[in-house]
Structures are given as structure tokens and as C-alpha cells.
Structure 1
Amino acid sequence: MSVVFSHPVSFAALGFLFALSSVTFAAGASSGANARSPPTRDQWMALADELDGRLRTALPVSSPCFDTVNGVHVGRNETECAIVQQGYTSPLFRSPRFSPQMNPNWETCQKTAAKCLLDSSQPNNSVAWEGVECDQGSVPPYYIDVQSAIDIQVAFRFARETGVVLSVKASGHDLKGRSGAPGSLSLWTRNLDEMSYSANFVPEGGNESFLAITLGAGVPFEDVYEFADANNVTIIGGYHQTITASGGWVMGGGHSILSPVYGLGVDRVLQFRIVTPDGQLRVANKFENPDLFWALRGGGGGTFGVVLESTMLVEPQMKLQVVSVNFPQTPENAQQFLKLIVDQTPKWSNEGWGGHMRSFGLINVNPLLTLEQAKESVQPAVDFALSQNGTAVVEELPSWQAFFSKYVVSAEFDVGAPLILGTRLIPVDLFTTEAGKAKFSDVLNNIVTQFNITPYIIYGTPYLFNHTEGSTSVTPAWRNSLWHMSYMGGWAYNASVEEIWAQYELISNLTQMLRDISPESGAYSNEADVYEPNHEESFWGDNYPALLEIKRRYDPDGLLDCWQCVGWKGLEDDRYNCYL
């Protein structure tokens, strides 16, 4: 059975997978809606017949490189292993396949160190597989290749009847481990890839038309940007090729470096088409199911139902002013540059800048200024970089697609390696008052000097966007912040449980320093500390009680659940056995 090219369920495949994964099934299926025994072989086969080949089996993507998989000797497959090795750190290899996550720590069982990983720094390193067993970890052993609403309706009914755990996955661009669960039946939406453009889109039940693009749940932003460019429009989206526009990105908030002017993803979405856990295919917009529409605009993915498509408001194609500066970092100049960008941020924010910034440089864009205005605006950053033997470019590009192709693809964070984030939304007063700047600068200096950590700053809060208060369910902290600040932690493919936990502790402790100086702020649910304390308040603020009520209305049996999502069942649920 191949994991590079998965197979529909057959009696032979089913028997083989049962032999490989009986422990996984038992662990994963005991905490569903009715806490029943795992589905029987006959129930799986009946589901396979009903889905006509769309129920498939899966093993970890690296399993062809191992002799023993889930305790069974299967022999190493040199041909398929070579394919995996070649693509192991490529997002374009991982995105269209079911088994891999962008960051493979979420393919493993971190608590028990059960895994099936290659060495991301050297994928042909034989130490990773010689004498090592491949374990299923958190990779769902079954998934449905979703093609229509019917597939999702069948899955919800099956879960209600059998108690099997459900998970929802698109491209696996997931930093919290929410798109998989050990022993689960996964709903894989990556192949819902249709796109359409309308110059006169009218939401169902409405009477006003919009410039809009409708996107299937599996369309990645790389494809969206090409499609928008071909239609001479600009869509506001994420900073990575493989993020799916209609999935957790938009439902969790959806920041963009164009968000300072044009808003978050939740501010741009006009309509969802979704199957809710009661089995109903629904349209959610301002006019139909407005409570669900509000919840989906910030309440998070994999929670209120399975989205088939979303429709996004777009802008005419626009020119962008771009500044890119880089310099060799030292402890001294890192502190100096961070102070410079803290001092400049209020001015830059009022001028419409957004971007990604580090302690050794930045890549920022502006849709409002002319080239001459942009040069004058960012001259302090340019001068600083050049004084440190760095480089600086300020230029005008004709479109978002031109910017994305030239700058973003080469600057995206690495995939194929274990990675976690801790984040905080940094409020305005930490930039605009002397006391605030002093507290913030102390934290930044400690991070760089004491911990030797490079902060990753996303300049993508909707500071200038004129939103309607209460129209979305994200934390209100988004509207009063200038930075979405993060730190990255990681570990080697063969790290021990203790080494992994040490990284979580480090990231959480760093993030606590920011919580302490911004107690009234919040965090972005898609990218926050995995073990975020008081996550309901951090992610949603006063919106949480209403979100919980809507969750219970559309999912009374709790068929959908995910880590720190609205209404999650908590650590006692078996699906979270692999979290630390």
C-alpha cells in the first residue's frame, strides 16, 4: 500500500490497515459523539461502498523509507522513498498529499515520541530509518477525499452512528495540530479546487453586488493569486503558497500584509457554503444564517461545520511600493533596529505599511503611497541597513502577484521540520507612550540578548480598515494593535520528549513576557502558543459566550472538536492524547 499514491479502501487494504493500526483505532475512536467501540470492518466497508472509492487509507508520508511500519515488517520501498526524500522539505510536495503536515511534529505522537520522520536537514540520512520503526502517530488512518456536500453529510452520519472521531484537513498548513487526530476519520477538502470570478456577485438573499472571487475549500493562495492576477484584481490573503484561502485561515481571522488598509480575511468574506454537523448544506452570509456567518468570521475552522467554498471581496489590481532591507545581525544592531522600527511604527501604520519584519531586516509593502513618498517614509530603515553593510531596495511593483513571486516565495518559513509558534497582538499604547515603549523595548532586548531568539513580526493588523464593530467574532484586540509578534521554536526529527517540552516551555515563557505587558490584548488563534492559557479570552474576548452558544446550536452532539477551539472537550478527550 502506497502512501505517496493512496488507495481506495478494499477488503485487502482494510485488513492490512487493521493489522497495522488496531491500537490507533482503539485509541482514537473511544471519545466520539456516543463513546462507542471503534467501527467494525463491516461498517467501514459499508462506508467505502457508499462513498464509491472516496474513502481511502493513509500511512505516514515517510513510511516507504522504513522496513517496519506500525509493528509489521513491510520492507523498504526504495523508489517511493526517493520521491519522499526529494520532496520532504517542499511545500508543493506536501500540500497536495493527504498524510503530510507542513510541520511534521503534527504527524507524530509527541507525548510518546511515536513517529515516522526523516531528517529534514538531510532527508537521505539513513540514521533516521535504519533500525527504527515507523509509527502511525497522529496521521489519520482513514480519510474521505471530499468531492461534494454529500461526502460530508455521509461522514457526519457515520460519526453519529459509530462514535468515530472526525478531523478536517485541507493543505496541512496548521500550526496547532488541529487538522489531524490519532485514529480519526479525516475529511480532506484539498481537492475542492474550483475558482470563479464575478464582477457582480450578489450574496444569496441580498441585493447589492460586489467584485468577488469564489474559492473551493482546497484552493491554496498560490493558485488564488495567479487567478486573481489573470482577472486584473487583487485578493487579500496569506504569506505562503500553501495556505488554503477558505479554510482555517479565514475562519480564524486571516491576516495579510495588506490587512492594515484592507482588513482581515474575516472582513473580506462575503459568503460561505458549509455543511453543518446536523447534515444540512447551508449558505452563511449577512442575510442567511447570519449567526453562523458571524461565528465563521473568526470562530475558527473545524468547529461549526465543513466549509465547501467561500466568496471573497476583491480589489482592482493595484501597484505596490515595496521596501526590502537586510543586514548582518549582531546583538547590538539587532537592538538598535528593533528600537528604530518601534519608533517608526506609528508613522508607518498611519501611512498604510504592512509587512514582515525581523531584527535583521524587513520586507514591507504599501498600496497608498507613491514611490517618492515611500522612499522618504522608509529612509531611516534604508540608512540603518546600509550603515551595517546591508542591502536596501525601494521599488514599485505592478501587482500583488509580482510582489508575491519576487519576494514572498523565497521568504516563506521552512516546511518539513518541527516548528511551533508563540504570538501576541501588540497594542497601540506600547508604541505611542513613553512608558509603553520602555516596557516593550525591555522585552525585545531580553529576547534578543538573553534568549538569543529572533522575533518574527507580522505587520498585518487592520489598523486603518474601517470595520463595523461587532461584525466579526475575532478578538477585538485585532482592532487596537499594530503588530502581530511571534517567536519560533523547533527541534530535531529525533528529539526526545524532554527536548520537545523544553521548546514549548521556552516559547510559552517568552510569550508570557508579552502577556505581562499587554494584559488587555489577545492572540491570533491560528498561530498562538499551543498551550495558550485562558485561550477563550485570548482568542475571542467577550465574543466567546456567543460563539459557544452557536457551536452548541449547530453541533449539539459535538461531532467536531479541535485543540482549544470553541467548545472543545478539553484534555480529557482521547483525541488529545498526543499533546504534551
Structure 2
Amino acid sequence: MTLPLLSLGLALLVGTAHAQVQSDQVPFSSTGGTTPTDIWTALSARFGDRVLKDVQPFSKPCFANASSAECASIQKLYQNEKARTAQAAGYTWGQWETCQDTGDQCLLDFAVPTDPAATEAGPDSCARGSIPDYFIDVRGPDDIIAAFEFAKETGIPLVVKNTGHDFKGRSSGPNSLALWTHNLKDISYNPAFVAEGCTDAYPGVTAGAGVQFFEAFQFAEENNITLVGGSDATVGLTGGFTMGGGHGVLSPVLGLGVDRVVRLRPDSGRQGSDAKALLVAPVQDRNPRRKIPHSKCLSERGPLLRAPWWYVLASSFSFLLTYPTPFQAAAEPSASSSKPPSSPPPAAPVQVVVVTWAAKSASQTKALWNLIGEHVIEWADAGWGGYSMPELALFVTQRLTKDEAAKSMAPLLAQAETMKEAGVDGAMAMVMEFPSFLPFFTSFMTDAGGNAGAGKVGYSVSLTSRLVPRASFATPDSRTALVDALMAASAVPAPDAPLMIIQITAPTAARPADLAPGRTSVTPAWRDAVYHVTSMGMWNWNATKEEIMGVYDRTSRLMDNVRKVTPDAAYLNEADVYEPNHEASFWGDHYPELATIKMKYDPDRLLDCWQCVGWNPDSERYTCYL
């Protein structure tokens, strides 16, 4: 299988960046070579005030003076996602600020941030851990290009950080240079967007790499449009979410985030004689004068490849909105008309069905998961997405009216009634309608401050996941095997019990025209998946190295129960840090071609990250992993 635009895109992206620098590379080592003073001088000369010179660990003020007003502010905001993602050195999950191998860290007690035990050792106990030494506040293409040149010249490892919402540590690394893309906040809506090389216009949104979901969803609300997004308000719309695939409750109908992409703007080098920004659109034709009909444009869009060494280069993405109902774009806009030739359908109402209860009960959880397993193919094919935890089921659709939604979910609502009649504590069911996606998202996915409502941040986590295919729901026996595996994977007593979530967010009901199968690097298993199952363990600031390794091992072994009854497939953004057979799990049969292209255009691994395509596990940047 050939992945369109791959060779062209990587040749222009990585190859051009390599060609712009001198072949003599100054080796970099944390123990020798180029001195920090030389690096700061060179960075300042090249980037000016976009070099962030005093980036310190998020919690450092509390180690300097635990009774200061600055520390009080840090303690108050310690579990606040928006506060963390707005800081260059702020990470959602604590361990990626630390060096897990050596214990170097600067963390507070995430459960009680005011606990003095975490800071009583004083300023000298606050270590940088795996926070990059150098940060560039990226404000445009020239900064990205110059950073690649600088990394090539000096050998300093590059990492890319947008929000720091990363379960695998790819946005941090000791002794590295970080490209902080958080401030690339431009977002625009064009009701008549035409991708390069195409003739038809569609409603589209173009967003910078720093736009987060709480901003994107508010923008969509203001423009009466719908965007595919995740469940966490502070995750970036582009970057890792899109390049990894990107899933949410609307994905069963609208596809993965990457399926909606019609253009990306990678900033990596000169195109032709002097241009420094280039576009990768659905079709790059040898004859630039030949226009491509809309059917081919749509079938060949989505040329993104997730070796995360790709997304670092893209400063903006353009997304297709709603269903593609093409209209011909005028060759030149009419001076007498202020309206586009057409406009998208309005954002659709959102129907929500919720069933929940209060007390933990393995028997009630198993009954719920048996019921969902029995009906989920029918529901997902009808356009329902959603989530289930041991005491909760939440389903969402834009395809039905409120009455139709209640009828469709009758088996689930009936089970809730049975629980209520049996006196199950807190058992309840709700059928709700929201006028658009944002009110639903605000009500169910965020807290009063607009942060993710599913839980706080600042703690350290071990996440594992699995994509579960249709075959697992084909027969009573296969469904029983799956539910038994899920129950076994979550059957650990508190306080070590993992947080398991069944996510019905695969593109099960998306129309072929809305997808890009074979055109992206996401594992083909997404196209046959029904569940994306995640399980999370956690630890606090004072965990020992042995205890941390124990959490990683336990969460992975628990997920082995599900691995045994499903194929090798996992969503790389939310996968086990030590995912077994990760090449097959993350990319499936795409991997050999991806690896070949990676080595052709980036043989020096200028762009490298943990368990990414063609990665170098011996790199110094990984010394803090266990």
C-alpha cells in the first residue's frame, strides 16, 4: 500500500531542513561538548526574545519559600489544567517533569498540594528532572526552521511541547531544546474553503498548533459549526491529537480527527528558491494546472503520518466541517456579494443518555458491560458514541431526535429502571437534549473553571489501552470473553484499583467519504474497532522507583487480560509507555513503509521520540525512562 504524499511530504519537510545546515555537527552531551553558556549565547543570537531564559519547574516557588504568596498560587492551581498548559514547564502528568530513573523531581503532593512534607527538604531538593533545558516560544515558521537548523548544528535533542498533555513523555526530555507551540493560537472559519489542487469548496476551519479544545469548541459555537474533538478541554486541537488519529464522542459519525484534515502547513524549509512555508494538501499533481475533482480530493485527503516527528513541523491544520456536500467555488469572489456561494448545515442538536449509580458493585458493572456489549454494534452503527466506567454509561449522538434517542437506547434505560426498582443506591437515568456540542461538553466534560471534569491533574500515571474489534461482539461467547477480560483487568482492590474507561469513539458509522483509510498512518485497526479501552494507575510524589515500576507493571499485566482476547492494536497517544510489540500495535501493516521513509529522509533521527517510527532507544533523551 502506498501512502499518498508521504515521500513528497517528508522530502520537503525533513530533507529540506537537513539540506539547510552545514554538514559539520557539534556533538552534544550532558557531560561535555558544547557548554551551556555557548548554547544560551547562540540561542539568543538566533531567536532573540523568543528564547525563554528562566523556565523553572512548575512547583519551584514552593521549594524556595513555602509560605510565599507565589507558592500559595501554585498550590491553588496545582491540579488546574489550564494553568499548567499555559506554562512552558507545566505538564499534565507529574512524572514527565521528573527523572524517574534517578528520582530528580520538583513535585507537590497532588492529593493535598499544601502538604509541607513534599517541600520540607528545601530549595536544593527541587530538581529539573526531565524538563527541557531550553525553550523556544514559537511564533511562526521561521522559528521552527531555525530550531531544526540549530539542533542539527549542535546535536541538542529536539522535543515539541504544546499543552504537555502527553501520557508517554514525548514533550519533555533532559538536556533538550523544546519547541513550545502553545502560542500559535490563530483560528479561522472559511465557509468556502478550497484545498490546493482542488476545485470544490467546503466549509473548513484552519487552526494554529496552539489552539486548545476549549477555544476550538467556543469558536465552533460562535460560528454555528461542529468540530471533532476529544473529551479534555485543554488538549490541543492539532498536534498530537490529530497526528495520532484523534477520537471523541462524535467520531463514530464524523471519523477520527485526522480524517477531517484537508490541509496542513508544515514549516520546515525552502520550497523552490526562497519560500520557507509550504502546504501539503489532498493532492499534489505533477501538472499544477490540472484541477482535481472533489471526489478525488476527498478520497485522497488526510496525508498525515504519525511518527510524532511529523507534527512538530505543522504550524496549522485545515479541517473539513460537517458532511462534504460540494459546491463549485467561484474563480474570483464577487465584489457585490458578501456571502459565499453556499454555507454549511447548522450545528446539530446533541442527544445524551446517561445511566449511573453510586456504590461500586462488580455485579452491576458486569451487567452493564454485558448489556452494552450486546447492543453496541447496533448503537455505534446508528451514530452513538460515548463512554462507560464501572458505575456509568454516557452515550451521545447528533443523528437522532430526543424521542428517537430514547427509543434507540431503550435497553439501557430499561436496565436503569430495573436497578432503581431493586433499590440500587443512586441509580438514575437521564435523556437530555442540548442545542449544540458546546453546552453538552461544558455540562459533562468540564468543571466550573473549564478544566477537564473527569478528574484533576498533577499526579503521575501509567496508562494502558486496547482497540477492540467488531469480531469481539459477534457471538455470545466472544462478548462473554471480552467482558470477563474487562472485569479481570479492573478487579484490583483500592487503593490500587485502576481507572478503566470503555470509549465508544471509533469511526464505526462514518461514511467512506468522511474517512481517509489507507491515507494516514493510524493503525488500520481503528477502522474495524468499536471500543477503545483505557486503564490507568497512578502514584504520588513520594513513590519510590520500585513502587513506580510496580504501577507500570501492574497496569500492563492487567491489560494483558484484554490483550489475550484482542489483536495487537492500541491508540499510540494513550498506550502503555512500555507497549509490547508497539510497532504492530500502533501502526499495523503501515509500519515497514513508514520506517523506510523515516530512515530515507531523517537518517540522523533529528526528530525522534519514545516508541515512534524509527526511534533510537539509545538516545540520551530517554535516560529518565525506567
The normalised TM-score by structure 1 is 0.89
Shift of 1:78: 1.3
Q: Compared with structure 1, are the counterparts of its residues 148 and 449 closer, same or farther at alpha carbon in structure 2 (3 Å cutoff)?
A: closer
Task: Determine the C-alpha separation between the residues in 1 that align with 2:188 and 2:499.
Answer: 40
Task: Determine the C-alpha separation between the residues in 2 that align with 1:304 and 1:361.
Answer: 35
Instruction: Name the structure 2 match of 1:408.
Output: 445
- Superposition pairs of residues 30-69 of structure 1, within 5 angstroms: 30=29, 37-57=33-53, 58-67=55-64
Task: Determine the C-alpha separation between the residues in 1 that align with 2:604 and 2:183.
Answer: 28
Q: Does 1:564 align with 2:611?
A: yes
Instruction: Name the structure 1 match of 2:623.
Output: 577
Shift of 1:447: 2.7
DSSP 3-state at the match of 2:258: helix
- Superposition pairs of residues 246-257 of structure 1, within 5 angstroms: 246-257=238-249
Shift of 1:116: 0.3
Deviation by residue 1:544-579 (Cα, 9 ceiling, x = unmatched):
122223323443432111111111111x21111111
Shift of 1:346: 1.6
Q: Compared with structure 1, are the counterparts of its residues 53 and 227 closer, same or farther at alpha carbon in structure 2 (3 Å cutoff)?
A: same
Select the residue among 383, 395, 398 that pairs with 2:435: 398
Shift of 1:304: 6.0
Instruction: Name the structure 2 match of 1:461.
Output: 506
Q: Does 1:503 align with 2:551?
A: yes
Shift of 1:77: 7.4
Shift of 1:305: 4.2
- Superposition pairs of residues 119-198 of structure 1, within 5 angstroms: 119-132=109-122, 133-198=125-190
Instruction: Name the structure 1 match of 2:538.
Output: 490
- Superposition pairs of residues 51-90 of structure 1, within 5 angstroms: 51-57=47-53, 58-67=55-64, 78-90=68-80
Shift of 1:422: 0.4
The residue identity in structure 1 corresponding to 2:503 is I
Shift of 1:289: 9.3
Task: Determine the C-alpha separation between the residues in 2 that align with 1:298 and 1:517.
Answer: 28
Q: Does 1:477 align with 2:507?
A: no
Deviation by residue 1:20-72 (Cα, 9 ceiling, x = unmatched):
xxxxxxxx9439xxx982355234213213212101131111011113xxxxx
Q: Compared with structure 1, are the counterparts of its residues 103 and 40 closer, same or farther at alpha carbon in structure 2 (3 Å cutoff)?
A: closer
DSSP 3-state at the match of 2:242: helix
Instruction: Name the structure 2 match of 1:266.
Output: 258
User: Which one is further off, 437-446 or 458-467?
Assistant: 437-446
Q: Structure 2 unaligned runs (5+)?
A: 1-26, 287-299, 323-345, 448-452
Q: Does 1:378 align with 2:409?
A: yes
Task: Determine the C-alpha separation between the residues in 2 that align with 1:119 and 1:454.
Answer: 20
Task: Determine the C-alpha separation between the residues in 2 that align with 1:344 and 1:427.
Answer: 14
Instruction: Name the structure 2 match of 1:306.
Output: 313
DSSP 3-state at the match of 2:556: helix
Shift of 1:336: 1.4
Shift of 1:214: 0.5
Q: Is the 8 A contact 2:282 2:303 kept in 1?
A: no
Q: Compared with structure 1, are the counterparts of its residues 513 and 295 closer, same or farther at alpha carbon in structure 2 (3 Å cutoff)?
A: farther
Task: Determine the C-alpha separation between the residues in 1 that align with 2:455 and 2:306.
Answer: 25
Task: Determine the C-alpha separation between the residues in 1 that align with 2:555 and 2:580.
Answer: 13
Q: Does 1:243 align with 2:235?
A: yes
Q: Is the 8 A contact 1:144 1:186 kept in 2?
A: yes
Q: Is the 8 A contact 1:355 1:365 kept in 2?
A: yes
Instruction: Name the structure 2 match of 1:348.
Output: 379
Task: Determine the C-alpha separation between the residues in 1 that align with 2:268 and 2:362.
Answer: 52
Task: Determine the C-alpha separation between the residues in 1 that align with 2:602 and 2:200.
Answer: 31
Q: Is the 8 A contact 2:508 2:529 kept in 1?
A: yes
Q: Is the 8 A contact 1:303 1:565 kept in 2?
A: no
Task: Determine the C-alpha separation between the residues in 1 that align with 2:88 and 2:181.
Answer: 10
- Superposition pairs of residues 222-237 of structure 1, within 5 angstroms: 222-237=214-229
DSSP 3-state at the match of 1:283: coil
Q: Is the 8 A contact 1:303 1:566 kept in 2?
A: no
Q: Compared with structure 1, are the counterparts of its residues 277 and 486 closer, same or farther at alpha carbon in structure 2 (3 Å cutoff)?
A: farther
Q: Compared with structure 1, are the counterparts of its residues 154 and 494 closer, same or farther at alpha carbon in structure 2 (3 Å cutoff)?
A: same
Q: Does 1:436 align with 2:473?
A: no
Task: Determine the C-alpha separation between the residues in 1 that align with 2:219 and 2:231.
Answer: 16
Q: Compared with structure 1, are the counterparts of its residues 289 and 299 closer, same or farther at alpha carbon in structure 2 (3 Å cutoff)?
A: farther
Shift of 1:429: 1.1
Shift of 1:130: 0.4
Task: Determine the C-alpha separation between the residues in 2 that align with 1:102 and 1:278.
Answer: 35
Task: Determine the C-alpha separation between the residues in 2 that align with 1:144 and 1:160.
Answer: 16
Deviation by residue 1:176-231 (Cα, 9 ceiling, x = unmatched):
11011111110000000011100011112222211111101000010000001101
Q: Is the 8 A contact 2:66 2:119 kept in 1?
A: no
Instruction: Name the structure 1 match of 2:85.
Output: 95
Instruction: Name the structure 2 match of 1:71.
Output: none
Shift of 1:76: 5.7
Task: Determine the C-alpha separation between the residues in 2 that align with 1:278 and 1:160.
Answer: 16
Task: Determine the C-alpha separation between the residues in 1 that align with 2:398 and 2:520.
Answer: 24
DSSP 3-state at the match of 2:278: strand
Q: Is the 8 A contact 2:261 2:302 kept in 1?
A: no
Task: Determine the C-alpha separation between the residues in 1 that align with 2:29 and 2:581.
Answer: 27
User: Which one is further off, 439-448 or 496-505?
Assistant: 439-448
The normalised TM-score by structure 2 is 0.82
Task: Determine the C-alpha separation between the residues in 2 that align with 1:372 and 1:469.
Answer: 34
Task: Determine the C-alpha separation between the residues in 2 that align with 1:505 and 1:294.
Answer: 40
Instruction: Name the structure 2 match of 1:319.
Output: 349
Q: Is the 8 A contact 2:260 2:302 kept in 1?
A: no
The residue identity in structure 1 corresponding to 2:573 is N
Equivalent pairs, count: 539
Deviation by residue 1:104-157 (Cα, 9 ceiling, x = unmatched):
111101111111000111111111100150010011121000001111111111
Shift of 1:298: 4.4
Q: Is the 8 A contact 1:321 1:397 kept in 2?
A: yes
DSSP 3-state at the match of 2:203: strand
Instruction: Name the structure 1 match of 2:10.
Output: none
DSSP 3-state at the match of 1:152: helix
Shift of 1:263: 0.2
Q: Compared with structure 1, are the counterparts of its residues 295 and 381 closer, same or farther at alpha carbon in structure 2 (3 Å cutoff)?
A: closer
Shift of 1:515: 1.6
Shift of 1:359: 1.6
The residue identity in structure 2 corresponding to 1:314 is L
Identity percentage over the alignment? Answer: 39
Select the residue among 83, 96, 99 that pairs with 1:106: 96
Q: Structure 1 unaligned runs (5+)?
A: 1-27, 68-74
- Superposition pairs of residues 207-222 of structure 1, within 5 angstroms: 207-222=199-214
User: Which one is further off, 48-57 or 419-428?
Assistant: 48-57
The residue identity in structure 2 corresponding to 1:264 is L
Select the residue among 282, 286, 292 that pairs with 1:286: 282
Task: Determine the C-alpha separation between the residues in 1 that align with 2:33 and 2:199.
Answer: 50
Shift of 1:434: 2.6
